[in-house]
Amino acid sequence: MADVDYEEQVREAYPELDCIESDDCRERVVEAWTLGLERGGWQDIYDVPYAWNIHETTNVEHVRGVTKIALESARVQREFHGADPDFDVIVAACLLHDVGKCYEYVSHVDAELLAGTDRERYATAEIPHSISGYALAHEVGCSIPVQRAIPHFLGEVPKRTLEAELVKSANSASSNAITQSAMDITLKEWVDEYSQTSD
């Protein structure tokens, strides 16, 4: 396989990186994605699906949707309610909330989309992507507020910050839209029907 420039792929896929004011925070997001893609053996960031059984929508589309929804919600919280959400934390956590799918979903795509690497060491569906995503963010040195906002499924983090709640609710909003569009069911119906069969 020819060398893949994962960093360039990440920067091109996620223009929302430009919304992060902190250079350090932005570079750590890129580094986490680069590691996930490299270790998972992905050839192209757009090959990572939104869900193991929904391939019509890419993970990139979902992550961008979550980021846009969370940013709009944060603006309303600031302008209408006088809250002070941290926009860098929100954008970074949204962009990283599903980076763990680089590990979790390698067994759910055609083998030709993957090549090389030692993915057997990292890639497994046994660890939920929000936990492996947290681990990637921790490994590259993302701030604690960003790390804490990444786990988003089934109450994985006991202390929920304003930013973490925004990520979680934006993820649900995007996911509901995708499952309705792709399968004509709600996210809850998708979880109820498929969560047991995805193991």
| Per-domain boundaries in the chain | 6-194
The alpha carbon torsion through 165, 168, 169, 170 (nearest 10 deg) reads 120
Task: Take residue 144 and report the two structure tokens written for it.
Answer: 């604690």
What pLDDT score does 199 carry? Answer: 35
In angstroms, rounded to a whole number, what is the distance separating the alpha carbons of residues 164 and 147?
A: 9
Name the residue with higher pLDDT: 4 or 137: 137
pLDDT > 70: what percent of the chain? 87
Count of beta carbons in the 10 Å neighbourhood of residue 196: 8
pLDDT in tens, 35-77: 999 988 899 999 999 998 898 999 999 999 999 999 999 999 9
What pLDDT score does 158 carry? Answer: 57
For residue 58, the Cα-to-chain-centroid distance in whole angstroms is 11
Taking 60 as the threshold, does the pLDDT of residue 6 lie above it?
yes
According to DSSP, the residues that pair with 114 across neighbouring strands are 42
Q: Looking at residues 132-154, what average pLDDT do you find?
A: 90
Q: Do 138 and 125 contact (CB within 8 A), yes or no?
A: no
- Domain 6-194 fold is Hypothetical protein af1432 (1.10.3210)
Is residue 198 very low, low, confident or very high in pLDDT (cuts 50, 70, 90)?
very low
Taking 70 as the threshold, does the pLDDT of residue 121 lie above it?
no
**One-letter amino acid of 93:** A
Q: Do 140 and 80 contact (CB within 8 A), yes or no?
A: no
In sequence order, what DSSP letters do the residues of 111-136 get, joined into one string?
A: GGGB-SS-HHHH--TTS-HHHHHHHH
In angstroms, rounded to a whole number, what is the distance separating the alpha carbons of residues 21 and 68?
A: 16
What pLDDT score does 55 carry? Answer: 87
Task: Take residue 162 and report the two structure tokens written for it.
Answer: 């304003």
In angstroms, rounded to a whole number, what is the distance separating the alpha carbons of residues 134 and 26?
A: 16
Is residue 197 very low, low, confident or very high in pLDDT (cuts 50, 70, 90)?
very low
pLDDT in tens, 166-195: 999 999 999 999 999 999 988 889 888 887
Is residue 129 very low, low, confident or very high in pLDDT (cuts 50, 70, 90)?
confident
Q: Looking at residues 102-112, what average pLDDT do you find?
A: 79
